Structure 1
Amino acid sequence: MNTVRILLSLAAHYNWQILQYDVKNAFLHGDLDEEIYMNIPSGFEGNTSNKVCKLKKALYGQKQFPRAWFRRFAKVMKESGYKQSQGDHTLFIKHSVAGGVTVFLVYVDDIIVTGNDEREKHELKQRLATKFEIKELGKLKYFLGIEVTYSTQGIFISQQNYVTDLLAEIGNIGCKPVSTPMDPNHKLGEAKEEPMVDKRMYQRLVGRLIYFALTRPNIAYSVSVISQFMHDPREPHLQVAYRV
């Protein structure tokens, strides 16, 4: 997410256009470098006793297939002259002779491209189309649960749909806002004497709040406090989480 924020800030500063692409059936493009077998699918007609299927292509659901897909994708990018970032392996960068730059970020099958080299971006799109089945989604509007909007003042990111879904999930869709995410006079401790709450539910709630803090840094401190009690959540901790 730090890489995403940096790309958005660069695009806003230099007025670069950000495009988004989607790779159709991404995992099916992975090359298998080992023999993998699977059971005969149900409904297959004929004598299937003591028989299995040998895979020629990667399928969804296997642990090694995401790696196989990304390995092939990275190979194609490097063959196209892109350098893979050592700080974030999902980031690829290419500098042109004329001084232009093209930046490419991939997350599973979602791709965002930005930079000031329009010719390279066009050639890259054609190159990818010959190697994979891609769909151009136009200007970046939604990525990893983050909504992106543009104005003359820059780029604005938010997670309105994300938090609306979260409120609906916990049954607080009609709640009223408060001025602070946490009561400044409230000291939160272990609270061993208080009733226990559903540990998994609490951890999921706090985990989603941690992700929401990406676009709402004003709740970051409060979320860091309630995340300290994930091992043994009690009723007071849950109430503070609901307030956040």
Structure 2
Amino acid sequence: MITPDPTTPEGAAVIDLHEQMEDLEKRTGEWPGADVVDILGLWLADFDFTRAPAPTRWVTGSTWVLRRQDRHEDVVTLWADEASALASLAQHARANWDNVWGADGIPDSPPANDRRAVDLYYGPKDERDDEDYWLYADDIGRLAPAMPTPDGFRFPGEEFCTEANSAAVFHPMTGPYDEGLPCIEVGGVLVFAYLDPDMQAVRVSVDLDTAIEQLVRGDATVPLHVEVGNATVFSAGARPVPAKAWAGRMRWLARRVRWMRWWRGD
């Protein structure tokens, strides 16, 4: 038995056809051939059978793009943040400070401040000749296949996910001498979040080895999407439902607003 998925264009179209045929039978007591042909003709006109469905582009992260160009090279590098990219550019400027030393307003030694060193070395945008650079943030995209995965894997539906989320369990440390780490368990997946003095950072790690079978694809991987704030920092195997992507984002925003109000004591 095949159940049409109303969240996909194809599933919604099948359900719409079923409703039209039911309405026809209620009105006439049967399926008159001429009426059925008219309904099917209009219904089929909404489909395009001439080309394969185009894959959908999803944003899976972001990066800073630095392009540096001179008479000898044209180099493009990617950086996790603007400060790192600027530091790399400043390093190049300091290593080639002799190219600008002696010009008006240029000190004998390059400044310690990265932004200042870059601004002095390259000068105003409209006055750059042999050397120039471009620095900007851009999204990292991924094309999600339009067709189902070869092994027929389908991520669990909303009802299943709601039940699994409501059954999530928090495993705290039992004390300062507990060798374990605090984590939340949902669907067999363990998500650890803790303060790591060795890394000197808040550390988050995910253990997928015990994930329930409904989450595991044929290649033994689990679809995973990780966000920090509003930025996607990792995404593998995630295939957002187009019809629900915006609604899901709005629900997330509503939860965020409620949390902020609670935090402020409103």
TM-score (norm 2): 0.23
- Structure with the larger strand share: 2
TM-score (norm 1): 0.24
